[in-house]
Amino acid sequence: MQSSRWNSVVGPAITLAIMSAIWFVDTHVVRVPNPGAISFLAVAIAAYIGGIVSGVISAAISVAFTAMIFSLPGAPFHYAPDNLARLVVVAVCTPLLAVMMGLLKQREQRALARERVLTGELVPLRAALDQSEVSVVLLDCETRAQFMNYAFRQLLQLPDELVAKKPPFIALLYWTRDQKRFAIPDDQINAYISERMALVRRGDEKPIDIRFIDGTVLRFRCKVLADGGRMITYGNVSDLVHSAEEYAELATVDGLTGIHNRRHFMTRLDDEWTRFQRYARPLSLLMIDVDAFKAINDQHGHAAGDQVLVYVARACGAHKRGPDVVARIGGEEFAVLLPETALKEAQVVAERLRMLVAERPVRCGDDKVAVTVSIGVATSTAGMADPTDLMKRADAALYAAKRGGRNMVSVADTKAHGTAPASAA
């Protein structure tokens, strides 16, 4: 408060000193050709230092001295026409200049006050963000990084010199690419970066999970700020995502054998059936049943029966191709779905599987248990109404193999509902 009062006095004092010096020089030394310009400068300085009141007082001092200086010699306050015009200009313009400079001073003071308040708020805020486990980066309206908290800098392993440059966000993405951090193929990484930048520019707030090569999963979020900037956050959701994936896998996997369960098999069968109907691509199915499984349980115990089921499951998956689906769909019943496979090729696969299972017994403790399977083979045809028809056809072929003596492959007739045994041990 005392500083403000002092500034309001300093301005008029400076003006008084300047105008007194002009008057003295003009009266006793040499004629000052245009003291008005100097008076404007004095008033501007006074208003800037002390504000509007100081400026107006300085303007009054300036006008009074100018009136004295512009007077005719020996005739105070009488003026030649040119000097009268100059005096009028000084009398009108100096108060306006004082008000204008005073207003600018007030605006500057308010801006500085706001900046001090913001700085006072930002210091603890930045300190708090640096303690956060969530990675945060604040971007301006041109997507340049204005602030990166400690977690974000550690996440990307950013050097201090790069952080100090406040780089564009895309430069940070390229830095991560060059460090080989993204779990994305090299031929897709540039398109991935372009897509991320497009999301940031349009302010898409939909969360996206990003996978790093070390297995870390980060949930990316973009929030549009009032000034047109963006707040980008990366939360570590690795545990949540991995748990969800594990639960999803458990929901589709048979607990005993480790292959897919009936639920997953039926979903994949529906998908492949839709593809068959749309593109008329071949689709075949093997239905497999362990021969005399009840007798194995009765003679050797349920633990031995479990071992037999695991053995058959492994045999079913031994020659599995990428799109094939191997599943346990019942107690001792298995299925193998063969996309892009015609009936003859499926028959070859079935025969290979039958021989693989039968070629060696399963050791269960001190016992060796001989294991064989019966297999029914069917392929999709235009006359089938839905995928259950394909399963019924393969199932009928399976029971034909059972009736034919077991340890056989039976192929469903594509022209009729009958089946024909294809092979036997």
Average pLDDT of the residues of the chain:
82
Bridge partners (DSSP) of residue 219 are 209, 235
Q: Can you tell me the distance from the alpha carbon of 90 to that of 95, in angstroms, rounded to the nearest whole number?
A: 9
What is the pLDDT at residue 342?
A: 94
Tell me: do 405 and 263 sit in the same domain: yes
What is the pLDDT at residue 11?
A: 67
In the numeric block, the tokens 């108060």 are attached to 95
Tell me: do 226 and 290 sit in the same domain: no
Residue 84 lies in a domain: yes
Tell me: do 11 and 93 sit in the same domain: yes
Tens-binned pLDDT, residue by residue, of the chain (425 aa):
445 555 567 667 777 777 777 777 777 777 766 666 677 777 777 777 777 777 777 777 777 777 777 677 666 767 777 777 777 777 777 778 777 877 887 787 787 767 665 555 555 656 666 677 888 888 999 999 988 888 888 888 889 898 889 999 999 999 888 888 888 888 888 888 898 899 899 988 888 888 888 878 888 889 998 888 998 888 877 666 455 445 555 567 888 898 999 988 999 999 999 989 988 899 999 999 999 999 999 898 888 999 999 999 999 998 888 889 999 999 999 999 999 999 999 999 999 999 999 998 998 877 889 999 999 999 999 889 999 999 999 999 999 999 999 999 999 987 654 455 555 44
Residue 124 lies in a domain: no
Residue 119 lies in a domain: no
Tell me: do 234 and 272 sit in the same domain: no
Residue 10 lies in a domain: yes
What is the pLDDT at residue 2?
A: 45
Residue 74 lies in a domain: yes
| Residue 190 domain boundaries | 132-241
CATH of the domain at 332: 3.30.70.270
What is the pLDDT at residue 47?
A: 75
- Asked if 332 is an active-site residue, the reply is yes
CATH of the domain at 139: 3.30.450.20
Tell me: do 81 and 213 sit in the same domain: no
Of 110, 140, 173, the last residue of a domain is 110
Tell me: do 226 and 262 sit in the same domain: no
Tell me: do 231 and 260 sit in the same domain: no
Q: Which of 121, 133, 246, 332 is catalytic?
A: 332
What is the pLDDT at residue 418?
A: 47
User: What are the pLDDT digits (tens) for 91-133?
Assistant: 777 778 777 877 887 787 787 767 665 555 555 656 666 677 8
pTM of the predicted model as reported, rounded to 2 decimal places: 0.48
Of 197, 213, 241, the last residue of a domain is 241
Tell me: do 99 and 54 sit in the same domain: yes
Q: Can you tell me the distance from the alpha carbon of 417 to that of 393, in angstroms, rounded to the nearest whole number?
A: 7
Tell me: do 184 and 271 sit in the same domain: no
User: What are the pLDDT digits (tens) for 253-273?
Assistant: 888 898 999 988 999 999 999
Q: Over the chain, what HEC string results?
A: CHHHHHHHHHHHHHHHHHHHHHHHHHHHHCCCCCHHHHHHHHHHHHHHHHCHHHHHHHHHHHHHHHHHHCCECCECCCCCHHHHHHHHHHHHHHHHHHHHHHHHHHHHHHHHHHHHHHHHHHHHHHHHHHHCCCEEEEECCCCEEEEECHHHHHHHCCCHHHHHCCCEHHHHHHHHHHCCCECCCHHHHHHHHHHHHHHHHCCCCCCEEEEECCCCEEEEEEEECCCCCEEEEEEECHHHHHHHHHHHHHHHECCCCCCECHHHHHHHHHHHHHHHHHHCCCEEEEEEEECCHHHHHHHHCHHHHHHHHHHHHHHHHCCCCCCCEEEECCCCEEEEEEECCCHHHHHHHHHHHHHHHHCCCEEECCEEECCCEEEEEEECCCCCCCHHHHHHHHHHHHHHHHHCCCCEEEEECCCCCCEEEEEEC
Using alpha carbons, select from 231, 244, 226, 330 the residue that is nearest to residue 287: 330
Tell me: do 296 and 398 sit in the same domain: yes
Tell me: do 363 and 283 sit in the same domain: yes
Residue 400 lies in a domain: yes
What is the pLDDT at residue 1?
A: 45
Number of domains making up the chain: 3
Residue 215 lies in a domain: yes
Of 110, 143, 160, the last residue of a domain is 110
Tell me: do 366 and 388 sit in the same domain: yes
Residue 115 lies in a domain: no
